[in-house]
Amino acid sequence: MSDVSAKQERRWRDMTVDANLRDEWLADLNSMRALELRSVCEGHVARVDPLSRNAHVTAAVREPLQPFFHRHWDDLQEPISRLVAASFCRDDARVSVTATRELSLRPGSPHVEVRQELFFEATKRHARRRKEIDEETVLWLEGTVAAFMALDEGLRALYERSGVGL
C-alpha cells in the first residue's frame, strides 16, 4: 500500500522530477543558453510538501556570463527590468531578480574566493489546492516556461550586443 500523501516523482534523464512536469517543459528549460535551470516545482498541497506549495521556476545566469552581468549591472538593470516585465506580463506570478556576491575564505587556502550569481525566480501566486495537478497550474507552467525562454533570448541578446559573445 502506497502513501497517498507522498510526493509523486519520476525519472527524467538522470534526475528525479515532479511527476506532472512535461518532458517538453524540462527540455526547453534545460536548453536555455544564457540561463541555467536551478529548480522547477509543480507545487504541492500542504500534506504532501508544506514547503513547496506554490509552483516555481528558478534559473541563474550561466557562470561564464556572470561577470559581464555583474560588472555592467548599473547599465543593465533597466533593460533587464524591461525584459522581465515583457516576459512575465501576467497577474499569476511573483517574479524576483536577485544578484548575490559572496566572498569566502576556505580553511587552508590563502585566496579569497569571489562568487557572484544573478537569479531569476517565478512563483505561482496561488498554492495548489488539490493533490492532483489542476489546469490552472498546467497553464501557469506552460506560460512560465515560455516566459523563461523569452527572458533567456533577451539576456543572450544583451550579452551578444556587448561584443563579448557566447
Residue 13 lies in a domain: no
Task: Give a yes or no: residue 5 inside a domain.
Answer: no
Give the three-class secondary structure for 132: coil
Residue (of 3, 1, 7) closest to 128 by Cα position: 7
pLDDT band at 101 (very low <50, low <70, confident <90, very high): confident
Residue 116 domain flag: no
CA pair distance 123, 9, nearest whole angstrom: 20
Residue with cell 511573483: 94
Residue 164's domain comprises 35-106+129-166
In the chain, the number of structural domains is 1
Confidence at residue 72, expressed as pLDDT on a 0 to 100 scale: 93
Classify residue 41 as left (phi > 0), alpha (psi -120 to 50) or beta: beta
Selected residue with higher pLDDT from 31 and 8: 31
Amino acid at 87: S
Residue 121 lies in a domain: no
What mean pLDDT is reported for the chain? 90
Compute the distance between CA of residue 162 and CA of residue 67 in angstroms, rounded to an integer: 13
What average pLDDT does this structure show over 35-59? 88
Closest CA to 29 of 19, 38, 20: 38
Q: Using an 8 Å Cβ cutoff, are 112 and 125 in contact? A: no
Contact 128, 55 (CB under 8 A): yes
- % of residues, the chain, pLDDT over 70: 95
- Residue 115 DSSP SS3: strand
Give the model's pLDDT for residue 166.
47
Task: Report the SS3 class of residue 68.
Answer: helix
Least confident of 4-8, 57-61, 132-136, 139-143: 4-8
Distances (CA, A) of 77 to 72, 83, 100, 124: 8, 10, 14, 24
111 part of a folded domain: no
CB atoms within 10 A of CB 3: 7
* 41 in any annotated domain: yes
* Global pTM exceeds 0.85: yes
Inform me whether the pLDDT recorded for 119 exceeds 80: yes
Q: In what order do the strands lie in the sheet with 35-41?
A: 35-41, 56-61, 112-124, 93-105
